[in-house]
Structure 1
Amino acid sequence: MSTVQTSNSDKKNYDEINDYIKKVLAIIEKQEITTEEGDWIIKETVNGFREHVNPGFLEYRKTVTKDTQFAAVEWSDSGSRFKDVSGKEYIDCLGGFGIYNVGHRNPKVMKAVKDQLNRQALHSQDLLDPLRAMLAKILAKLTPGKLKYSFFVNSGTESVEAAIKLAKMHSERKTFIATTRAFHGKSLGSLTATAKGVFRKPFLPMISGFRHVPFGDIEMMRKTMESCELIGEPVNAIILEPIQGEGGVILPPDGYLKQVRELCNEFGALLIFDEVQTGMGRTGKMFAAELYDVEPDILCLAKAFGGGIIPAGAVVATEEVFKGLFPNPFMHTTTFGGNPLACAAAIATINVLIEEKLPERAEEVGEYLLKKLQDVALAHQDKVLEIRGKGLLIGVEFHSDEIGYEVSKGLFDNGVLVAGTLVNSKTFRIEPPLTISYDEVDEVINKFKIVLESLTV
């Protein structure tokens, strides 16, 4: 019998590792920190990203802030704002790319999660877990049309993956249609539906059977479906974001989504709505499907679904579509999807959205913010190309990437964080918590005006 020899150089110094862990845990425990502690946190964070996470993030941070502000390290949050370790406060108009619909650390969601945590954190994986059943019932009542059954996940890309697999189990058809400028996630299946070449190219070839047509072009959609039918590759499903978020807040032409629904009915295809970003009240309705009066066969949710407290998502489908999983529910599973903490967070989030009428508030405040931003932009038409949106999902498009970078950096320096993107700074998104106050909205508008007036690009 051989024995594994361990050299002294391979031995881990557990005492040293644990001393560092204790220091980190002590920092986590603190509500307030000293200047010296803040400096240590910044140093450890920057060095940790450089040496152990990904140094590319530091370069990314430099491109959207000024000088050494890439070292801004977030520390705490509440309502519509968060603070960095140096005490600087920001109005959050990025919203975690749509996570914080009910605000940062919403007390009702926090309480539900804490109450559940005090009893049981994760489920056994064998016994029936009650909150999953209750949340699924709530979604069946809440979602549009005949959507009935839910499968719970941890993220948006997982929701899209589950939707694709449900569609594949529903029909032997192999063809899917997505649209240009679409973003559906970065796991392999959802990345195949995503249209951003910069994300796709390193991983080619993608999953077979996907085609992309221009978003909003109903004639091209029809022609593609007809062509697929003629060559014996009929379309299984069309997957769309009702409003394209990552693509730059691209609104569908009038009647477009209804026409897509009609095409699906005509050709026997499913309609998948990716509402990972547009769902949970963001656009002025609980779901953007309601905004356009269209009933999908499959609905994808995530981001704000967990109330900004617990990562959570869901794919909700009609019984006709979902029944493919009935004979063997283990054909698609996830260890942590639908865990008790996530379900508690989602249930409380829906409660807050309904009781505080946040979808309606998103419509009202969104109209105010959109109009005021457009008024400011009238004096800067040489810089701002268009401002558009629905509810509190607003896109600000500039004449060039350079202008977009400078405006987003200027807003950051003035304490407003917007949802710019790494690959397309020409347009940035404004998607604050739906709880943002009118005073905070006015502050954002004023700082937008100040930045535009000071811009020398």
Structure 2
Amino acid sequence: MSSASDATWRERYGETLMNTFGSPQLVLSHGSGVYVWDVEGNRYLDMLGGIATNCLGYAHPDLVEAVSAQAGRLMHASNFFATPPQIRAAMRVSAALFSAGEAPEGTRVFFTNSGTEANETALKIVRKHAGPQRPRILALTHAFHGRTTGALALTWKEPYRAPFAPLMPGIEFIEPTVSALEAAWGDDVGGIFIEPIQGEAGVRAIDADFIAAARALTTRTGALLVADEVQTGIGRTGRWMAHHAWRDADGKPIVPDVVTLAKAVGGGFPVGACVGIGPAGAILTPGTHGTTFGGNALAGAAVDATLSIIERDRLVDNARIQGENLRRALRDIEPDLITEVRGEGLLIGIDIATDAPAVVTKLREGGIIANATGPATLRLAPPLIITEDDWRPVPAAIRDAVHAVRTDTTSA
């Protein structure tokens, strides 16, 4: 069965899996470092990193060893019990969140299996804290927080929402401007959800003045500020957390009340986390939330190993340096082909002068994996281990792919 052709695997896929993702672009067999191979033996440079998830690349020997060793001892024990890997993982997450100092007293971690579940947990924290007298929750236009029904209610894109209406009431979308925030705010607002950089919207950062205004209003009225760091956290932006760049008018750090994590936190292992900071860590009490698999020993080992490797190998610094250099190289491409390059660290959005999905196909045919977040926007989020030698062919490949697609379109 393992030696079956690409066509055979695709046929089996169509016969056995629900058609929620459409036809797969590739059928992959294995990976190493920043590369993956399909079942036909073709190699690809993964500039998407499993959508910002495989921060250590593929088959990192230290992560493989940690997970394999834990699998031989204990994988799952239920949350009637604690395990050392679970506790070590929570300590690692808190250390990453507060890399410049001590976590506020009361800060606590709840482990989930995904980013969507982490945001569901945060949503329950906000609801329980606010009570029925503060039923409104604000989210931003172009936000993406997940696809389960609670997280979906916080997600802006109407085609995702419409088939499942009616969704949870009380959630309102606003433009990420101070004037829109102030107009929508009231004492009946229980919280606001913010992605520091909106990845699914094309890698668009939220302005600093909006963040400062949101923190001031939530503090004044007792509402909660939730930072969704599912895509941006764990070194992706050249900082341990993207919200570490948040500052108020006096230059002091702006600290959210709740932070959600997933994707890179387990190095590719399915695990997420919701962190209540300070008093928010005590809002959920016994019986108010739970999970069967969240925080299992195997996931804990993956988190502990992943964050340890990132710290040891200075991969946060690498993300910042490689991201700066890659964006500079992309900006050197002719402006009639590349109209804008933005992002932080190794989360990069590229606006192009032609059909982005077609460019993604051209890149893949040439051995590079990227993705399109819109009709004219590419997203790159490669593993944090990437080097300049690895990504050096990418700018020229994007230039050539954009030119080729635009020429094909013009000729047609």
Runs of 4+ in structure 1 off by over 3 angstroms are 54-59
Q: TM (normalized to structure 2)?
A: 0.91
Aligned to 1:44: 8
SS at match of 1:331: coil
Aligned to 2:170: 209
Q: Distance in 2 between matches of 1:52 and 1:109?
A: 31
Alignment of 1:345-424 (within 5 A): 345-376=302-333, 379-381=334-336, 383-399=337-353, 403-421=355-373, 424=374
Q: Does 1:311 align with 2:270?
A: yes
Q: Does 1:425 align with 2:375?
A: yes
Aligned to 1:34: none
By how many angstroms is 1:136 displaced?
Answer: 1.7
Q: Deviations over 1:65-86 (max 9, x none)?
A: xxxxx5x311110111100011
Alignment of 1:5-404 (within 5 A): 24=1, 27=2, 37-39=3-5, 42-55=6-19, 57-59=21-23, 61=24, 70=25, 72-144=26-98, 146=104, 148-172=107-131, 173-215=134-176, 217-225=177-185, 228-229=186-187, 234-292=188-246, 293-308=253-268, 310-326=269-285, 328=286, 330-376=287-333, 379-381=334-336, 383-399=337-353, 403-404=355-356
1:374 maps to amino acid: R
Q: Deviations over 1:260-315 (max 9, x none)?
A: 2122112321100000000000000000011224211000000111112x201100
Structure number having the greater helix percentage? 1
Distance 1:313 1:263, change over 3 A: same
Gaps of 5+ in 2: 247-252
Q: Is the 8 A contact 1:419 1:431 kept in 2?
A: no
Q: Distance in 2 between matches of 1:349 and 1:128?
A: 20
Q: TM (normalized to structure 1)?
A: 0.83
Identity of aligned residues (%): 33
Q: Is the 8 A contact 1:366 1:390 kept in 2?
A: yes
SS at match of 1:325: coil
Distance 1:271 1:254, change over 3 A: closer
Aligned to 2:249: none
Q: Deviations over 1:380-419 (max 9, x none)?
A: 42x433111100000012345xx21222111111111002
Aligned to 2:250: none
- State which structure, 1 or 2, has the greater radius of gyration over its C-alpha atoms: 1
Could you say what the CA RMSD is over the residues aligned between the two structures, in angstroms? 1.7
Distance 1:305 1:56, change over 3 A: closer
Q: Is the 8 A contact 2:340 2:351 kept in 1?
A: yes
Gaps of 5+ in 1: 1-23, 28-36, 62-69
SS at match of 1:119: coil
SS at match of 1:334: coil
SS at match of 2:326: helix
By how many angstroms is 1:57 displaced?
Answer: 4.2
Q: Deviations over 1:92-140 (max 9, x none)?
A: 0111111011221221111111111111111144333222222222323
SS at match of 1:388: strand
Q: What is the aligned length?
A: 394
